[in-house]
Amino acid sequence: MQSAPQALARVYVTRRVPPDGLRILRQSGQVQFELWDSDDPVPRKELLKRVEGVEGLLCVLTEKIDSEVLEAAGPNLKVVSTMSVGYDHLSLPELKKRGIRVGYTPDVLTDAVAELTVALLLATSRRLIEAVEEAKTGGWGTWRTMWLCGYELNQSTVGIMGLGRIGVAIAERLKPFGVKRFIYTDVAPRTELASKIQAEYVTMDELARESDFLAVCCALTPETQGICNHSLFSKMKKTAVFINTSRGPVVNQEDLYEALSSGQIAAAGLDVTTPEPLPPDHPLFKLKNCVILPHIASASYTTRNSMSALAANNLLAGLKGEPMPKELKL
Ligand code: DGY
C-alpha cells in the first residue's frame, strides 16, 4: 500500500531574498512558501496576518519577531530563520519559551563586512567623500600643503570593541597597512581569536585612550546598548577615528554628534544608525567629518546569496528536526 504524501510545511518569507535561497526552498520539495515579494518590509499588519498557522518563518533584520508575531503565528511555528548574523530583532526569551528553533547566518558574511569596514575606515580617515565633493563642486584650487589631510594607519593603534570573527577579519586586512598594535575589549579575553592577530586585551578606558582607530564590532545586547557615549568619546584622542559597522543603538548619537562637532574626536564612519534609514535632515549628515552608509556591510552579490542560501538551509533542517547548519543556541 502506498503511504499518503506528506503535506508540505507552510512557510512565510518576509522579503524578496536573493535567488539562491528561494531556489533552495523551491527545490526542496519540503515546503510551500508564501513570499512578501518586495524590497520593502512587509507592513506589520500584513505580517501578523500572513504568519498565521505557519511552521517556518524566514525573515530579515527589519522584522521584529516578538511575542505579538509569535502569538499570531500560533503553535505550529517550529523554526525562525533570519538572514542575518545579528539577531537583536528577535525576542529570544519568547522564542525559547515556545521551543522555537532559531537559525542565523554567521561566517558567510565575515569577509564582506570586514572589507566594507576597511573601506569605510579609509574613506573616513582619508576624507574621501569630502574630497570627491570638493573636486566636483569647484573647491579644487591649486595643490595645497595641508588641504584635506587625514590620518594614516601606518604605525597606528587599532582598537576593536567586541572581538569576534569579524573583528579578526578586519585586523587581518588592516595589518598590511602598517598597524603597530591591535587592542580589544570584550566581556572576557578571547585568547584564541586574539592570538591570530596578536591583539592585546585592554580595559574600556585603555581602548578609548589608546586607539587611533576604534572599530565597533560587538553585538547589540542590553549591555552594549549606548556603550559608545560621552564617557567613551571624552577619553578618546582628538585625532581618533571612530567606526561602527555593528548596530546603531550601541552608539549614543547625541553624544557622538557632540564629540564630532566639538572636535573631541576627529571623524566617524557609520554603516549603521538609529533609526534606519536615518532621516536626510539628521544633524549627523551635516557634519563633514561623519561618513554615513546605509547599512551595506554585507552587500556583495556573493555574500547576500550565501546568506539567503544559509537561511533557507537552516529553515529546512530545522523543520525536519535535524541539526541546522547555523543554529543559535537559546
Ligand atoms: C547582519 O547580518 O546582521 C548585518 O547587519 C547585515 O548583513
Looking at residue 1, what is its pLDDT?
A: 55
For residue 83, give the ligand 1 atom closest to its CA: 2
Strands of the chain (E only): list them. 9-13, 31-35, 56-59, 79-82, 101-103, 157-161, 181-185, 199-201, 213-216, 241-244, 267-270, 290-292
Cα(109) to centroid of ligand 1, in Å? Answer: 8
Q: What is the pLDDT of residues 82-123, one digit of tens each?
A: 999 999 999 999 999 999 999 999 999 999 999 999 999 999
The best mutation among 113, 120, 314, 328 to test binding of ligand 1, ranked by most ligand atoms within 8 Å of the C-beta, falls on 113
| Contact (Cβ atoms closer than 8 angstroms) between residue 31 and residue 53 | no
Angstrom distance (rounded) from CA 123 to CA 120: 5
Q: What is the pTM of this model?
A: 0.96
Give yes or no for residue 59 CB within 6 A of ligand 1: no
Cα(85) to centroid of ligand 1, in Å? Answer: 5
Catalytic residue check, 230 = no
Q: What is the pLDDT of residues 235-265, one digit of tens each?
A: 999 999 999 999 999 999 999 999 999 999 9
Residue 306 has pLDDT above 60, yes or no: yes
Give yes or no for residue 243 CB within 6 A of ligand 1: no
Q: What is the pLDDT of residues 168-204, one digit of tens each?
A: 999 999 999 999 999 999 999 999 999 999 999 999 9
The best mutation among 58, 65, 85 to test binding of ligand 1, ranked by most ligand atoms within 8 Å of the C-beta, falls on 85
For residue 304, give the ligand 1 atom closest to its CA: 7
Cα–Cα separations (whole angstroms), residue 5 to 2, 8, 29, 218, 272 = 9, 9, 11, 46, 47
Looking at residue 285, what is its pLDDT?
A: 98
Confidence label for 6 from pLDDT (cuts 50, 70 and 90): confident
Q: Whose CA is nearest to atom 3 of ligand 1?
A: 86
E strand or H helix that includes residue 16? none
Cα–Cα separations (whole angstroms), residue 43 to 14, 40, 57 = 10, 9, 15
For residue 303, give the ligand 1 atom closest to its CA: 7
